[in-house]
Structure 1
Amino acid sequence: MEKTSGWRGTREIWINAAYEALLESGIDAVKVMPLADRLGLSRTSFYGHFSDRDDLLNALITLWQAKNTGNLIKRTEDYAETIAEAILNIFDLWLLPDLFDSRLEFAVRNWAHTDRELARMLDEADIVRVEAFQAMFERFGYETQYANIRANTVYQTQIGYISMKKDGPFEPLEPRLKRMPLYAEIFSGRKPTEAEIARFLARHPLP
């Protein structure tokens, strides 16, 4: 956007700058003056869009909730003919940052170590996400106890990868794609069909 005289920016560019600072350097880097310097704007611009720093931090949390938890729940409800295909649908989350932002997830989990209220929200998000996975398994006929264990296995495996920076944007695409049909079989106990695998891979072409 062209900067004209008196231009004060937008709420969105402040949130984007805060997002980048959070991912690059953690929550301590999300402060008004460093962000103002980064954007070439003034504190007056910031306070034209936010009441205070906490207001900006809440906007980041809302972004995380909508993108990661909201999209995850939607993905568990997408149409699939089999449980294996449903799990391959879930794997789209781990491959497409527009659906699930692994870097943001990592940053929020680190942030939660120093913010008790965010830690509480993170615990709630974990519960809601596992419940969504469990409901997906139950939809395909799994008994409640087995559905819960499988749901936790799927979720904790991925969060473990993210926490170790071994998945998402942290690892090349090709080896991950090769493993995912095997993971789908292990998580569900059902082998994906060749057609299901082909549809999945078509959504994620190698560069």
Structure 2
Amino acid sequence: MMSQTEQLKPCAKPKGSVDLWLDAAFDLLIEGGVEAVKVMPLAKRLGLTRTGFYHHFDGREALLEALIARWEAKNTGNLVTQTQAYSETITEAMLNLQDCWLDTGLFDAKLDHAIRNWARHDVQLQPRVDAADATRKAAIQAMFERFGYPAEDAQIRTMAILYTQVGYISMEVTEDTKLRVARIPAYIKLFAGHAPTERELARFRARHGMRP
């Protein structure tokens, strides 16, 4: 049985978690740009208090830094990991990379678009976007070179891949997933000079929950 003191003690208000605040901040960033990412709108959206926010972050700038760091780890970090994933052929390696364009858990295109828009008006952020692009380019080029492509050839193929994907993102292309998957063999043949085998495609489709 609770004592009278325990009964009168006010309940601590929920503060949420770091991930909860960051997820909501990402939503605001994507919906309205960086100017929309403010403490009170975040708190209102989550049904929490400003105190809950300051339990996790020193202020808005700390939140923005956390957003950028998470973007770097997710989009760039996962892309690099995919280029280094086990593969026996360049086409299998390319399919590993294609996972990024189909799985938002690996690479969030809307977030990438929002970060790039933000960087256009933030001289401190733009160098970090440039660094991320350089890291992505180096990783994809190294993937090609691992399979014997000359450095200059690998670089050109890398730029074609990345610029195509940036075009998808900046133009906000909406494409049926099945249609995009159906086009992937042609894309890979275009970028790598070889088409994936049916066995490689079957494994690729299976991990994305699609039937052969």
Counterparts of 1:128-139 in structure 2, within 5 Å, are: 128-139=135-146
With CA pairs under 8 Å and 6+ residues apart, which has the higher RCO, 1 or 2?
1
1:179 aligns with 2:183: yes
Name the residue aligned to 1:73.
80
Distance (whole Å) between structure 1 residues aligned to residue 92 and residue 15 of structure 2: 48
Distance (whole Å) between structure 1 residues aligned to residue 98 and residue 45 of structure 2: 35
What SS is found at the alignment partner of 1:97? coil
Distance (whole Å) between structure 2 residues aligned to residue 93 and residue 135 of structure 1: 17
1:144 to 126, 138, 151: 151
Counterparts of 1:166-205 in structure 2, within 5 Å, are: 166=173, 170-205=174-209
1:27 to 34, 53, 60: 34
After superposition, what is the alpha-carbon deviation per residue over 1:63-87, rounded to whole angstroms, capped at 9, x for unaligned? 1000000000010001111111111
TM-score (norm 2): 0.91
- Structure 2: gaps of 5 or more residues: 1-10
Distance (whole Å) between structure 2 residues aligned to residue 161 and residue 128 of structure 1: 20
Q: Shift in Å at residue 135 of structure 1?
A: 0.2
Task: State which structure, 1 or 2, has the greater radius of gyration over its C-alpha atoms.
Answer: 2
Distance (whole Å) between structure 1 residues aligned to residue 164 and residue 210 of structure 2: 24
Name the residue aligned to 1:114.
121
2:160 to 153, 156, 166: 153
1:39 aligns with 2:43: no
Q: Shift in Å at residue 206 of structure 1?
A: 4.3
State the one-letter code of the partner of 1:12. Answer: D
Distance (whole Å) between structure 2 residues aligned to residue 46 and residue 152 of structure 1: 41
Moved more, 195-204 or 55-64: 195-204
State the one-letter code of the partner of 1:192. Answer: P
Name the residue aligned to 1:99.
106
Query: How many pairs does the alignment contain?
Result: 201
State the one-letter code of the partner of 1:7. Answer: P
Aligned residues: percent identity? 51
After superposition, what is the alpha-carbon deviation per residue over 1:186-205, rounded to whole angstroms, capped at 9, x for unaligned? 10001211111111122223
